[in-house]
Amino acid sequence: MRHLDSPQQTETIALKVEYSPVWEVILGIAGYTHTQLRHTFDLDEEWKAYQNSMPASLVQHLKEIEQTNFWHAMIMLQDKFSATSIQDFSNQLSQLPHDHFYETLLPYVSRDLELLRKTTAVQHDWVDLFEQYATHFDQHEYLASYVRNLGHYSVQEMCDLFNHALNGWFEWVSQQEEWEKWMQALAFEQKQYSSIEHTNPIEEIEKITGGIKYLPEPSVWTVKLIPHVSYRPWVLEKRTPETKLFFYPLKEEYLLEPGTPSINLVRGHKALGDELRLKLLYQLLKGPLSLLEMSLQFNTSKTTLHHHLSLLKAAKLIRVEKGIYSANPAQIQGFSKSLTQYLGDLL
């Protein structure tokens, strides 16, 4: 078969690693206000230790963000702004037209619903439009209530909340002695990936993030990789109509002092230091199970099991996909060597 047209260069996604103190502040707020999983975050013990020094006004603002899930809104705004400081974020926020403000904050569903999303953004005084759009997220953990909350707050109320929360958290967290070390490590991470090979972006994403396997999506032409400390050990995924965001945990070796055990080592021993969790891991090594199957097998409530499984998952000893839990043999075998590697010549 003969082709008349000359072949054109294949277009690939744009890939970038982006760091900013603003991202770290927003992710700190997101992690702190995620009360159901906060016990699995690397910084949970530090947050508890410094909690008494947190101003009452910040506590109140964080409570409101927890209730509204407006941390999601701040992530969407920072993706648009790429602000380099809290002041830069605030300045850009004050200049954003109201319809652009709502279009940025309203989560993307699909191409079929883009007209409704954009109509809601333009006609943002109509609460019924937010209610209608929210129904498309009824199966989501928090986006349905998030969209409804957008319809019940004014732009000024949200902007005031964002500015107060960001400034309050920054002033609080930057007083902790490790903050400057985090900023230096994150800046180094961005610098070493300032030039990325774009011919095979899927492999680059997996290499940079330490294992994220990205499947290209229609209409997504930019992938941002944002390293973080505050949301460790979790990977957070978000998307806009044209951009995919992966927030990946910074490599732990950047943060450790000699003689300090890795969080993975501590987290793993914590996860295994319970009889029920050891039994759960034993059964999952035999084969995958759903939460319901484990609840029946161990005669334990789903809420209790979810707590124990979240600790095993945070230690990467198990995986979950579409509600089915399975063991991670490679991680279990690697973990068994980690204590020996840590103690090294002292044995």
> Could you give all domains of the chain from N- to C-terminal order, each with its CATH number?
14-249 (no CATH), 263-346 (1.10.10.10)
In sequence order, which residues have a C-beta less than 8 Å from that of residue 297 and are 6 or more positions away?
283, 289
Q: Scan for tokens 């943060």, then name that residue.
A: 255
d(CA 278, CA 62): 35
Q: In this predicted structure, what is the pLDDT of residue 195?
A: 82
In the structure encoding, which two tokens stand for residue 280, read together?
């759960």
Preceding omega of 218 cis (within 30 degrees of 0): no
d(CA 11, CA 29): 37
CB contact at 8 A, 304 and 311: no
Q: In this predicted structure, what is the pLDDT of residue 329?
A: 85
d(CA 67, CA 82): 26
Instruction: Centre a 10 Å sphere on the Cβ of residue 329 and count the other Cβ atoms it contains.
Output: 10
- The length of the chain is 347
Amino acid at the residue 155: V
CB contact at 8 A, 17 and 193: yes
Q: In this predicted structure, what is the pLDDT of residue 124?
A: 97
In the structure encoding, which two tokens stand for residue 252, read together?
């732990």
d(CA 64, CA 233): 25
CB contact at 8 A, 71 and 29: yes
Nearest to 105 by CA among 173, 170, 32, 157: 157
Q: In this predicted structure, what is the pLDDT of residue 103?
A: 98
| 96, burial (CB in 10 Å: exposed 0-12, middle 13-18, buried 19+) | middle
* 222-228 and 243-249 strand pairing: parallel
| 270, burial (CB in 10 Å: exposed 0-12, middle 13-18, buried 19+) | middle
The Cβ-side half-sphere exposure at 265, using a 13 Å CA radius, reads 14
Q: In this predicted structure, what is the pLDDT of residue 157?
A: 98
Give average pLDDT by consecutive 10-residue segment, the chain, 347 residues. 58 90 98 93 92 96 98 98 98 98 97 97 98 96 97 98 98 93 92 81 87 88 96 94 95 74 83 93 95 94 93 90 88 75 65
- Beta-ladder partners of 249: 228
- Beta-ladder partners of 247: 226, 236
Q: Where are the beta strands (DSSP E) in the chain?
A: 14-17, 222-228, 236-239, 243-249, 289-290, 318-321, 324-327
Q: Scan for tokens 């082709």, then name that residue.
A: 3
The 8-class DSSP code of residue 110 comes to -
Instruction: Please report, for the chain, how many H helices and E strands are present, in that order.
Output: 17, 7
d(CA 308, CA 185): 32
Q: In this predicted structure, what is the pLDDT of residue 2?
A: 60
The 8-class DSSP code of residue 146 comes to H
